[in-house]
């Protein structure tokens, strides 16, 4: 959306989501939205049906180029008191 779209709060504190936003985010009747407030902004986020599938692969770039087995073993050794003897 290039320009902000104005919506009106009803007497029951409801707002209608503009059609352009519904189309771009594929929001359907009955979908649930998460409401977040950040720095004085009201943010509506489509709630994923399956959080595990939604989060799969998140931040995978953090692990690129690392030997994950070696990293895991180093972390385990750091917590194992016998490893520092």
Say whether pLDDT at 2 is over 90.
Answer: no
pLDDT more than 70, % of the chain = 94
Query: Is residue 55 included in any domain, yes or no?
Result: yes
Distance, CA of 5 to chain centre = 24
Query: Is residue 47 included in any domain, yes or no?
Result: yes
Query: Is residue 34 included in any domain, yes or no?
Result: yes
Which pairs count as long-range contacts for 45-54, CB under 8 Å and 24+ apart, including other chains? none
Query: Is residue 48 included in any domain, yes or no?
Result: yes
Query: Is residue 57 included in any domain, yes or no?
Result: yes
Please tell me the pTM assigned to this model.
0.54
Number of independent structural domains in the chain? 1
């Amino acid at each position: 959306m290039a320009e902000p779209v104005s919506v009106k709060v009803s007497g029951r504190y409801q707002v209608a989501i503009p059609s352009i936003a519904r189309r771009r985010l594929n929001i359907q009747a009955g979908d649930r939205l998460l409401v977040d407030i950040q720095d004085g902004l009201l943010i509506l986020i489509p709630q994923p049906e399956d959080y595990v599938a939604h989060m799969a692969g998140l931040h995978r770039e953090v692990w690129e180029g690392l030997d994950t087995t070696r990293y895991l073993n180093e972390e385990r050794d750091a917590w194992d008191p016998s490893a520092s003897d």
